[in-house]
Structure 1
Amino acid sequence: MAIKDRFRNIPLPEIIEDAVPEEEPQEAVIDSQSVFADLVKSLSQKIASIPVWFEYTKNEQYDLISSYVSAKLKDFWVEFSQEEKEKFITMFMNSVFGFGALDVLILSEDITVIFVSSDGKVEVERSGRIELSDIKLDNAQFEKIKDAMLKLSAEDAEKGIINVKLENLLITLLLPPVCSAKIIIRKLARKKVDFEYLINSKMLSSEAADLIKSYISEKHNILVTGKLNSGKSSLISAMLYEPGEVRSVLVQKFPLITGLPPSVETFLTGTLDDTGFENLMTSVSLMAPSFIFTDLNSVKYTDYIINSFSDLHGFVTALRADSVAAAVAKISASVMFSEKCTEKAAKAALAKIFDFIVFVDDCKLKSISALSLNKAGSLVLTAIEVPEPVSLQPEGLAEPVLQKPEALPVKNSGSFLARYQ
């Protein structure tokens, strides 16, 4: 009998009182899912009250949960074998994370990121969209989580940005003076995020996926750009599966992209200063991998890469920007400043290292642009026709129309940024 089935159709004792007509015994039916949810909620509250919960080892956490669950199960008059008991406790271990009221959000499969403000407001990213949760933390709950993460990180709060990795969670603390205190809990992907996954998620069409795959197989250099939480990391994750058995390297600030093929070697830069980053990239280049992927999202790193790997082929990097034009402007301005070069030379550097710019927004592929230089040495961006994902249409409606992304309007005069406005 399954563990949860033990909670179904549990008979209550028959009670017969004097002067009361004898009746058929009644059965009490306990909803196993409701019982499990109530126990998880109760256990989450209990664990959230333990200040040092995150400092316990897995075995210590297991022992505490085992004692708590065993005591609670006695209320249901149910006997468990040792094997069933261990399975049941494992279910709780996988359902309780130590974040109190936030545990139910972490457990939800369609929620990928949880944002908590210092006023207790909780927002979530669900299926690529941000929405307000009906859960709200009080000040004591917020401070307890914040203090626990600070203690785990052992980093100075004055840094303003603190990152802690717990199992498949990446917790980021944003603290003054960077901004008002915030907690961001990001769930690291457990599933294989490849192109098949992105196609099924309607992030892009199979035709667009095949196009990007061809760019990788031909070892073109690609800049992936988009806003915060736009889907850049997911797209890079899918690209990482394409090189096959050849050696590839992934450089990322924090372990957001996980579960990759053994041919991909991963390096983290989150704790490195500028010198450490340069030493790491030098070591990566000496490894002579067939492909280098970076998910750093900073123009500073992109600028360094342009200057250091201008002759590289098979390179993919991510840059956070609101549009293709903004990405071009960011990189060019940085190159002009660091190299003390002209605008034209900065644009030429951009076009010489990158063959394509892929723009994503709201977890959707929006455009692909090819980079080239005309005879005068000016940057030219050419929009590539990208079929959109086909949605199932109700009977009687027209088939989806494949739309060509609008080309960037390039003017012939004015400042570099003005030409793309």
Structure 2
Amino acid sequence: MTSHSDSASSSTVTPEGAAVPAATPAATPHEPTSPVVLAARRARLAADEIAPLPRAAKDTALLAVADALEARTAEITEANAEDTARARAAGTSETVIDRLTLTPERIRAIAADVRHVAALPDPVGEVVRGSTLPNGIDLRQIRVPLGVVGIVYEARPNVTVDAAALCLKSGNAVLLRGSSSAYASNTALVAVLRDAVAGAGLPADSVQLVPGESRDSVRELMRARGLVDVLIPRGGASLIRTVVEESTVPVIETGTGNCHVYVDADTDLDMAVDILVNSKAQRPSVCNAAETLLVHRDAADAFVPRALDALAEAGVTVHGDERMRGYADGSKATVLAATDEDWATEYLSYDIAAAVVDSLDDAVAHIRRWSSGHTEAIVTTSQAAARRFTQLVDSTTVAVNASTRFTDGGQFGFGAEIGISTQKLHARGPMGLPELTSTKYIVTGDGHTR
């Protein structure tokens, strides 16, 4: 978890148009007339109210949310259609529009995720550790809510519900700041959430959409230290970097997904093709999709021609190094020359960078240089290679003979995730319920003095 003081730099605009402002040293963060500050104050009051609630009260509210999402699907999809139509008119890429789109099927899946969160154990009050000290004092460290959680995210309105569900279950109030491209969708979703939560007896202000669509609203959220306990940015690299560098509120840094698949010298070719295509093409617009393929030279002759054809059938363009391009003749694939920019890129599209490497250690060196620290996979039949790869690669998740697409809170059994943290403090990897808590110590004596 990081916190930064003011700095002077230019504004940053994310690819989906969610502009995030630069620091304004003259800004006064707690002006009483600011709608953002007033929302944060309401969230603080709501957080104090829901923190001590028993699990049953929170689960009842979550089940009401799930039911309301399904009951009001038409209202939500109508609002979402406004956003997608506006995005297409603006020339937004289809991969971004896919992330923006809510269908009845996706809304049912979101509601199912909320019910899953309701069924999970409540982390609040869990004893992390405890003991009776030699002097007779009873010491317990227990989980407690973080308080008020601010989420800044791009054009994925499902995050609105995921974040709200996880925050409610863990006893937190949430302030949601999505991009302007999803404003109609988020407004409709938050209206549904607030009605359901209030109907279940919880304060409606435990879920709020941050007022305003301008850069100022994001700036004020980033400067609401003392009202907001933590900010979690979720989106592209520019959004995350700006929030981390410019926020005075502590930040949990979620990361971009420049993920790698490495095919080892000893490998099952059929398995390797399946894992590669699934990692890249099953849903390329998400952060756990693979962006780079690395192939051991000893497996290249047998594997690369099959891999290129399979990627071509999936509609993927390959950006290859010289040795990879040597296999392009006779292939169905489009293989372009890769540059350093390709190795560093999170495409979020039907593109993949690819290289042939001389050894496992060379693959690890490439990953260390270019990875964002999200997820890397090895496909191998060698236990020794798998063990060395998992020891040397330092990302949040290292997969052995499995797709990178499994790095996900739902797939890990955490319920809907609030983000995938690529930092090393407090939370790392998919962030579920425990990661939305802090701890406090309960010291119980019998007249003890020191």
TM-score (norm 1): 0.25
Give the structure, 1 or 2, with the largest relative contact order (CA under 8 Å, sep 6 or more).
2
Please identify which structure carries the higher helix content: 2
